[in-house]
């Protein structure tokens, strides 16, 4: 089993604080992407809304969430050792691998199964964890 990502908030307040910290980074990313797209100032003002920057912030935050990657057996053992968590699992129980993100503030662990596409599973899980919990 191994871990990817660095953001693992333990409380709702910690999650909000970490999320808010991505605000200025999201603004810089959006501005640089707009420059790369050769947007002039007028087009930038018309097209780059608060929703655009918020979407960038959401993606930045979600992409840094800590996820554990392991076998089905390792995940099942983790769940057995942490029975205080509600498990929200997507995918098939008949595949070999699982990625999961622990959300202590919600007493929940969000998991996704995969056979071969680790990177896709990690990305999917992060979006699910951010969007659902």
Residues 6+ apart with CB under 8 A from 94: none
Total count of domains within the chain: 2
Binning pLDDT at 50, 70 and 90, where does residue 93 land?
confident
Tell me the two tokens of residue 108.
Answer: 């929940």
- Cα separation of 90 and 88, whole Å? 7
Query: For residues 71 and 97, is the Cβ–Cβ distance under 8 A?
Result: yes
* 20 shares its domain with 76: no
pLDDT surpasses 90 at 59: yes
* 70 shares its domain with 59: no
pLDDT of residue 133: 86
Higher pLDDT, 132 or 7: 7
What pLDDT digit, counting tens, does each position of 66-79 carry?
999 999 999 999 99
Domain that holds residue 59: 12-63
* 46 shares its domain with 80: no
Backbone angles phi, psi at 83, to 5 degrees: -70, -5
Q: Return the percentage of the chain with pLDDT > 90, whole number.
A: 96
């Amino acid at each position: 089993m191994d871990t990817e990502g660095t953001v693992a908030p333990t409380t709702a307040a910690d999650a909000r604080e970490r999320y808010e910290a991505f605000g200025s980074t999201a603004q810089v990313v959006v501005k640089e992407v707009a420059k790369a797209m050769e947007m002039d100032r007028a087009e930038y003002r018309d097209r780059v809304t608060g929703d655009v920057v918020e979407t960038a912030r959401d993606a930045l935050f979600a992409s840094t969430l800590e996820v554990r990657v392991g076998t089905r057996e390792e995940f099942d053992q983790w769940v057995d050792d942490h029975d205080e968590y509600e498990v929200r699992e997507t995918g098939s129980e008949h595949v070999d691998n699982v990625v999961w993100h622990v959300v202590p503030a919600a007493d929940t662990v969000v998991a996704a199964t995969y056979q071969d596409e680790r990177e896709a599973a990690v990305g999917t899980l992060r979006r699910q964890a951010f969007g659902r919990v």
